[in-house]
A and B are shown apart, each in its own frame.
Chain A
């Protein structure tokens, strides 16, 4: 045993000794830091600072205040509504699917395919997803036609439109639900049997167990994932653009048009629009990070 310890000890001690002698270890992350600064942090700061500058480079709040005009406010409002709706529905549906897979007494072999499919679908966003939903829920789509011909239900006459709030939310769910499944399944797996047994012994019914034991434990995970899904939907450009062109005025599409130079005259208003996006997704991700560290206290 002693011979086995010696090299391990040497391995543990040597780097410490060396880094004490020459403290140039930080040089090893210089390429990464340079990359992150040049292609991630500085470009973002450029936008953030630009939002507080006027044409001549002087400090101003005018750009941010210009956001508060009806057309831009309504774009933010519809973006927020779509993001909240798709995140909320995604959380609920994803939670049920995860619960079914994790503790729902389904055959064990089903878990693998469900998780793999979730991995695929959560990455299947963008332009092709828009095509898929147009081919399914568009005016000539499979579901639209089947509902009309078989059941006499015309969803377009009922106010549904794939190019609207409801259509976009329905489409976003295709990547929101799987993301929720991927994140929350391990959390539900982490609910210990003993907790349920203890609750049952104390006379708790199933709803009581969920309300008083399981949900309080899962709460940080659920809230955090909701925030993550919100940010996910809020920043999505490609799906919305391919689906609606520029007919639905949501923030990412407005910004897209602004960068291409179509809509707004003032480039600094574009900075402010982008700043608004960073702030909202930043808050959402901040919530995710904080709640995740809380969630890890219980679920290991």
Chain B
């Protein structure tokens, strides 16, 4: 038994080295912009860059739009499949897993061919159309995570009884969704939403190929032209991912508490 824990500690120390060193290296490098001393110059340079502010804001807006579209699409579908079409579940689940099989670059390649200016639906012809296309593309990327989160949330509640109860009190379809189902799966929806945010905020491939001024392509541009700023941006991006995961943990824990009470 002693030997087993020694062996576990060795594994853990190696893991901490592998995962810790790049983080340490990035933080270290990001503070070396001024010669000889540690400073936050690179961070100020990044945060003061108007293109940083513009692209970051753009990606935040895209992430929020993606979350809204994703929730509107996934929650009613997952609910309906559980309630009325259980036989369709494997089909829907299979479709939601497809974005893990088909690389994002292939999907966006298809978009460019299918929705270009000379097609039946010329979405890429205008900035607004391309933004809409990018939102839907991000919804596709987030689909596996969002669907899984919501479906797991629905599993823990008795969908049929809740619906019947609400309907017998005179609730319509929208009331059932908005005031009964959504509050009950709110934690699952929030988990999916934060994960979506983490995925969308730094996404590169789709935004770059659709030529939109998003945060991901900006990161790549800075990386190709600057020395210290990329490291500062990596630290910021890592912090955002941490915050998203932290929020997921937080809402999950809060739910456990309220359930126990």
A: residues with CB less than 8 A from B are 7-8, 10-12, 14-15, 19, 25-26, 28-29, 31-32, 35-36, 39-47, 50, 93, 96-97, 99-101, 103-106, 110, 116-117, 119-121, 123-124, 126-137, 140-143, 173-174, 177, 228, 231, 234-235, 237-238, 241-242, 245, 252, 255-256, 259-260, 270, 274, 277-278, 281-282, 285, 289
Contact = CB atoms under 8 A, between A and B. Distances in A.
A132 B5 contact: no
Nearest to A27: B80
B25 A143 contact: yes
A124 B110 contact: no
Contact of A43 (B113, B216, B223): B113
Interface stretch (B54-62, B180-188, B200-208): B200-208
B261 to A, nearest CB: 22
A105 B245 CA distance: 26
A131 B73 contact: no
A43 B111 contact: yes
B22 A132 contact: yes
Given A12-B160, A29-B77, A29-B81, A238 B22 contact: no
B137 A35 contact: no
A290 to B, nearest CB: 13
A237 B77 contact: no
Contacts of A255: 105-106, 109
B205 A256 contact: yes
Given A47-B109, A127-B219, 19 more contacts: A7-B165, A11-B160, A15-B83, A29-B80, A41-B95, A42-B114, A44-B98, A93-B18, A126-B216, A128-B233, A134-B230, A136-B26, A142-B25, A177-B18, A237-B105, A237-B205, A241-B220, A242-B223, A278-B102
How large, as a class, is the contact surface on chain B? Answer: 35 or more
Contacts, number: 260
A242 B18 contact: no
- Most chain-B CB neighbours within 10 Å: which of A8, A104, A128, A133? A128
A245 B225 CA distance: 12
B164 A44 contact: no
A97 B12 contact: yes
A277 B21 CA distance: 33
A57 to B, nearest CB: 13
Interface in B215-244: 216, 219-220, 223-224, 230-231, 233-234, 237-238, 241-242, 244
B99 interface: yes
B256 interface: no
Closest 10 CB pairs of A and B: A43-B110, A104-B8, A136-B25, A235-B103, A142-B25, A238-B204, A135-B29, A128-B237, A28-B80, A100-B8
A238 B113 contact: no
B8 A127 contact: no
Nearest to A255: B105
Given A133-B22, A260-B209, A141 B103 contact: no
Interface in B1-52: 1, 4-5, 7-9, 11-12, 15, 18-19, 21-26, 28-30
- Most chain-A CB neighbours within 10 Å: which of B18, B105, B112? B105
